Homo-oligomer: A and B are copies of this chain.
Amino acid sequence: MTQSLDNAQIEALVRRAVRAIVNNDLSSAAQPPGWVDGKPNLRVSISARHVHLSDEHVETLFGPGATLTPMKGLYQDGFFAAEQTVMIVGPKKRMLPSVRVLGPTRPFSQVELAFTDSISLGLDIPIRHSGDIDGTPGCVMVGPAGTIQLDKGVIRAARHVHMNQSDAQFYGVKKGDFMDLKITSPQCTITMSDVLVRADETSKLEVHIDTDEGNACNLDSATKIELIPSGGGCGCKAH
């Protein structure tokens, strides 16, 4: 989990420390929000298959007046795995019996699967960033109180990294940039490119990959995780 610092990162750290001392704000100097030991606390999370639902669809699937019941908070504040699950049925009547609903609700429902899931469901799904669902396949969602024929919204979520502006400054990246994620794991080290930066004011630094990606590198056994701006190095010894 160690990370090396380049000059720009060291400069950013020093600048922040000096500014905080000038402002007599030592706690900020010691630790920007979500940082540990003077660095962003890099976390990589596997997003297992899940659905996001609109308020209307929650009521259709779980009954009039139903709302999502938080079961477990996610790493990002305000987001949670709900107690509710739905059955997802594909075009060949193959199904995934119990897919977790994540909250809070959204304007539009969306189903996020790994490729392995989509193959078992008989669906050919595109890689999309969350919310970009035009032209994607649909499916049937079945809950205890009703069924939804979803016309679109089944995607494989593209790799992405949530971060706040302090993190973005640390890495020298901005919203919309791409980064590489190197996961060193015994006998199955992988470098994933195309990791989209989703930077805002409040997010904690967290890379989201899916179960195929997490299993490909056996994330649980990883000994080192590095997040690198694309083109700025690849984690090999030449850099």
Which 3 interchain pairs have the tightest Cβ spacing? A115-B215, A216-B216, A189-B193
A231 within 8 A of B: yes
Name the distance in Å between A173's Cβ and chain B's nearest Cβ. Answer: 16
A174-193 interface with B by 8 A CB criterion: 186-193
Query: Does chain B have a CB within 8 A of A88?
Result: no
Distance between A222 CB and nearest chain B CB, rounded to angstroms: 13
Number of interface residues of A (CB under 8 A): 30
8 Å CB contacts to B: which residues of A201-239? 211-213, 215-216, 218, 231, 233-239
Q: With a CB–CB cut-off of 8 A, which chain B residues contact A188?
A: 127, 158-159, 192, 194, 213
Closest B residue to A228 by CB, please name it.
B236
User: Can you spell out 21 A-B residue pairs with CB atoms less than 8 angstroms apart?
Assistant: A116-B116, A116-B211, A119-B215, A127-B188, A158-B187, A159-B188, A187-B194, A188-B192, A188-B194, A188-B213, A189-B192, A189-B193, A190-B192, A191-B193, A192-B216, A212-B215, A212-B216, A213-B216, A215-B216, A233-B236, A234-B234
Bound CA span A119–B114, Å? 15
| A residues at B contact (CB < 8 Å) | 114-116, 119, 127, 158-159, 186-194, 211-213, 215-216, 218, 231, 233-239
Cβ-neighbour of A218 out of B127, B187, B192, B215 (below 8 A): B127
CA separation between A189 and B215, bound complex, in Å?
A: 16
Contact residues in B for A114 (Cβ distance below 8 Å): 215
Distance, CA A29 to CA B12, complexed state (A): 58
Partner of A239, one of B186, B194, B211, B238: B238
**A233 CB to closest chain B CB, in angstroms?**
8
A96 to chain B, nearest CB (A): 12
A231 contact set on B, CB distance < 8 A = 236-237
